[in-house]
Structure 1
Amino acid sequence: MAVILGPNRYGKAEIRLVRVARDAGVHHIKDVNVGSALSGDMDDVHLSGDNSAVLPTDTQKNTTYVFARKYGVDQIEDFALLLARHYVDSQPAVHHARVEIEEYFWDRVPLPGPRAERHSFVRSGREVRTCVVHHDRDGTTTVVSGLKDLVVLNSTGSEFSGFAVDEYTTLQPTTDRVLATEVSARWRHASGASPADGSHGFGESYSEVRRCLLEAFAGTHSLSLQQTLYAMGRRVLETRDEICEVRLAMPNKHHFPVDLTPFGLDNPGEVFYAADRPYGLIEGAVLDDDAPAAHSAWE
């Protein structure tokens, strides 16, 4: 039997970074979690322990902090591109860099008086903005933006009936149910963008894609969560030319009507038990049929 080394990469995970921009006494917060992973001509470190091609993961951590100080942190995609290109351009053994960033949102605390909304913040909900950037030595760059933990609910306008039935089926069809989910969405940009290319507008793109997802969720009379998923992805592709593929994972956060008849009460769709598990998990991709495949970009 022949034993060989397969695909491999290494890097620094979960580099916690908070960048405070002090603008004439008014502060702006960027709270991010950065991960970097490098691959390339590095077989010897695995096969013989030769570390000469290895840029230490501690150096990757330091690079993240230095770049935050030198260049600031505006759109997370732009910051990820800066890091990924740096690793490939500066290290001959690195042929591919992957940088992943999560961003956590903060809102200003409004206060009376002249110092209102200057330097006090409160964490904004659960929603997390995400991105993954891949950059190769041949210049190929892929940017996947996204969000996760976006919890949404329709209190009506959702049905589920006409499904397959076998001897183990107990679920009853319904023409009116609560539809709730926790959206994880990722979308691939049709082409990479330079950090200096202000026309690309990752911030505007994120806001508009998020708006499309929410509007499609709210505006679709749902016959299934699968139908809603497709409507959300389709709305993004039909609205935003810079996006060529959307991938969604949406757990069905079940809300079951509580039987109140033992207490002499009816329940006309007002009282529900919110079950956290088990849950249905609906996943799918919606893509522009003309877009080039980029399967590795999602890894």
Structure 2
Amino acid sequence: MAIHLGPNRYGKAECRLVAVARDGEHTLTDLNVSTRLAGRLDATHLTGDNSDVLPTDTQKNTVYAFARRGVAAIEEFGLDLARHFVAGTDAVERAQVHVEAYGWRRLGGHSFARAGDEVRTATLTATAGQAWAVGGLHGLTLLNTTGSEFRGFPRDRYTTLPEASDRILATAVDARWRFASLEVDWDAAFEQIRGHLIAAFVETYSRSLQQTLYAMGERVLAHVPEVAEVRLALPNRHHFLVDLSPFGLDNPDTVYFAADRPYGLIEGTVQRDDAPEPGLAWDLGAA
């Protein structure tokens, strides 16, 4: 029986980093950084030879040391780290850095409040000759109280769902977008993309959450030329009318039960026809 080592990678997961810039009004940066390295690492798996293994503790220390220089856009920070690991370690052929940024709302010159559950993300991948950037967000919760329906679906012996001609549509957006180049104003692009995702959700009369997903991705690509494709995962946060008849009350689309599970999960990708190939943008792939 033939056996061989398949794709592999290693790194330091979830390095929590809070940086405070103290010039004038304080600025707070709150990050969660994960590193993944791949390359010529067969020996450590097959014989326990660690001569090519940059310790994960060193990777963690590098994250903090780079933060000492200051953290601007998370895409730039992650790209600097990924390139460093490829350039500085002979056996490392590919490096990926994933960054999550948690928002804080300013209350005063040095006071802040956590700004909800929404998280900005960036995944940067580098080799000796190329680099790729993927931006994103998750936890962006959106809701339309009307302007949504779901009708005309097939029925079988197990179908009990009634058709809905007017329903609440709610979701928590998980979006990632692949940039076509690295010549990007990262912060400005993020704000534009986030704004277009929201605008498409608000302005689209939805006959299905799939239709809304496509409208959101299409709008981003139509307005942000730096983006090559958008991947979206939209959980359908169901809202069910509560039966108030046992209490002698009607319920004219007023009182709902917000169910957290189970939920429908709609996923899809919207791409430009002429988008460059993704390379290793989405994942490290084979080692």
TM-score range, shorter chain: over 0.9
1:124 aligns with 2:122: no
Aligned match of 1:135: 126
Question: Aligned to 1:231, which of 215, 226, 229?
Answer: 215
Cα RMSD over matched residues?
A: 0.9
Aligned ranges for residues 1-299 of structure 1 at < 5 Å?
A: 1-24=1-24, 26-69=25-68, 71-109=69-107, 117-137=108-128, 139-193=129-183, 200-294=184-278, 296-299=280-283
Q: Which consecutive aligned stretches of 4+ in structure 1 deviate over 3 angstroms post-superposition?
A: none
Counterpart-to-counterpart distance in 2, 1:284 and 1:298: 14
Distance 1:125 1:261 in 2: 36
Tell me the SS of whatever aligns to 1:10.
Answer: coil
CA distance in structure 1 between the aligned counterparts of 2:146 and 2:275, rounded to whole angstroms: 36
- Unpaired segments ≥5 residues, structure 1: 110-116, 194-199
Higher relative contact order (CA 8 A, sep 6+): 2
Which whole-Å deviations, capped at 9, do the CAs of 1:93-151 have from their partners, x for residues lacking one?
Answer: 11000000000011111xxxxxxx210110001100001011012x2111000000111
Whole-Å separation in 1 of the counterparts to 2:123 and 2:170 = 27
In structure 1, give the amino acid aligned to 2:241: P
1:271 Cα deviation after fit = 0.4
Shift of 1:295: 6.4
* SS of residue in 2 equivalent to 1:209: helix
Q: Deviations over 1:175-230 (max 9, x none)?
A: 1000000100000001134xxxxxx2100000000000000000000000000000
TM-score normalised according to structure 1 size: 0.93
Q: Distance in 2 between matches of 1:185 and 1:207?
A: 13
- Paired with 2:279 and 2:39, the residues of 1 have a C-alpha distance of 19
Counterpart-to-counterpart distance in 1, 2:10 and 2:274:
33
Q: What is the CA–CA distance in structure 2 between the aligned matches of 1:80 and 1:262, rounded to whole Å? A: 57
- Per the TM alignment, residue 155 of structure 1 is displaced from its structure 2 partner at its CA by 0.3
CA–CA distance in structure 2, aligned partners of residues 296 and 166 of structure 1: 42
| Aligned residue in 2 for 1:196 | none
CA positional deviation for 1:292: 2.6
Report deviation, 1:278: 0.7
Whole-angstrom distance in 1 between the partners of 2:91 and 2:197: 41
Amino acid at match of 1:9: R
Separation in structure 1 between the aligned mates of residue 19 and residue 272 of structure 2, nearest angstrom? 36
Take 2:30 and 2:95, find their aligned partners in 1: how far apart are those partners? 22
Secondary structure of 1:236's match?
helix
- In structure 1, C-alpha distance between the alignment counterparts of 2:262 and 2:43, rounded to whole Å: 46
The normalised TM-score by structure 2 is 0.97
Deviation, 1:233, is 0.3
Instruction: Decide whether the 8 Å contact of 2:19 with 2:28 is kept in 1.
Output: yes
Distance 1:260 1:140 in 2: 61
| Aligned partner letter, 1:52 | S
